[in-house]
């Protein structure tokens, strides 16, 4: 869940997109990427934790812009572009969408706690020495971000807080690490 991807500055060419389409069409002959295929791409399988599966479902939902339960090629390209070339503010807007599980445009303490808990479990899975108190993290996020003290975080508060505080950025900005996956996939066909 690191914040820096080694290939985030890599140029995505028209040839890369054409190769990606070829792989997309081969992997998704229906023309759509379904949740189970999406999970497989990111290594979530039957041995993954319930939290990892729930997290990937939230991520999938955030990329399914027309909310039809599948990701078509245009949604997929938009997701890849965001991950590889997106500006920080766009990545933060996307992270906000993942946190906002009910899609109402504001984050409650419960939503923030839920995602932080999932991220913490995933981090612990890879490094058992990671032990952070979820409630403390959530309290600190709300203390730093909820400027009007209404017990909700708006998109504006989310972005402003993340841009001002490196600790908040580490907590709020989501990074799946798919940049490396995408670049490996495009190189495999070369």
User: By residue range, what is the domain housing residue 94?
Assistant: 14-188
Q: Considering the entire predicted model, what is its pTM?
A: 0.73
Is residue 1, in this structure, part of any structural domain at all?
no
- Count of domains in the chain? 1
User: pLDDT (tens digit, 9 = 90+) per residue, 143-190?
Assistant: 999 999 999 999 999 999 999 988 888 887 766 554 454 555 445 444
Question: DSSP per residue over 4-59, as a string?
Answer: --TTTTPPPPHHHHHHHHHHHHHH-TTSEE-HHHHHHHTT--TTS-HHHHHHHHHH
Contact 71, 32 (CB under 8 A): yes
Is residue 43, in this structure, part of any structural domain at all?
yes
Is residue 174, in this structure, part of any structural domain at all?
yes
Residue 185 Cα distances to 75, 91, 189, angstroms: 18, 22, 7
User: pLDDT (tens digit, 9 = 90+) per residue, 79-106?
Assistant: 878 877 788 898 899 889 889 988 899 9
């Amino acid at each position: 869940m690191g914040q820096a991807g080694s290939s985030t500055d890599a140029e995505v060419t028209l040839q890369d997109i054409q190769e990606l389409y070829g792989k997309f069409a081969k992997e998704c002959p229906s023309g759509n990427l379904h949740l189970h295929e999406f999970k497989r791409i990111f290594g979530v399988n039957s041995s993954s934790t319930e939290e990892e599966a729930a997290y990937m479902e939230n991520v999938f939902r955030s990329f399914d812009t027309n909310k039809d339960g599948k990701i078509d090629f245009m949604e997929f390209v938009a997701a890849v572009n965001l991950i590889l070339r997106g500006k920080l503010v766009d990545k933060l807007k996307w992270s906000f969408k993942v946190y906002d599980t009910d899609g109402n445009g504001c984050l409650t303490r419960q939503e923030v706690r839920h995602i932080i808990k999932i991220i913490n479990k995933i981090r612990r899975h890879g490094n058992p020495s990671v032990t952070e108190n979820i409630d403390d993290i959530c309290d600190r996020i709300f203390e730093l971000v909820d400027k009007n003290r209404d017990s909700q975080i708006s998109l504006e508060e989310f972005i402003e807080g993340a841009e001002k505080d490196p600790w908040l950025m580490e907590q709020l900005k989501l990074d799946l690490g798919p940049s490396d996956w995408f670049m490996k996939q495009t190189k495999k066909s070369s």
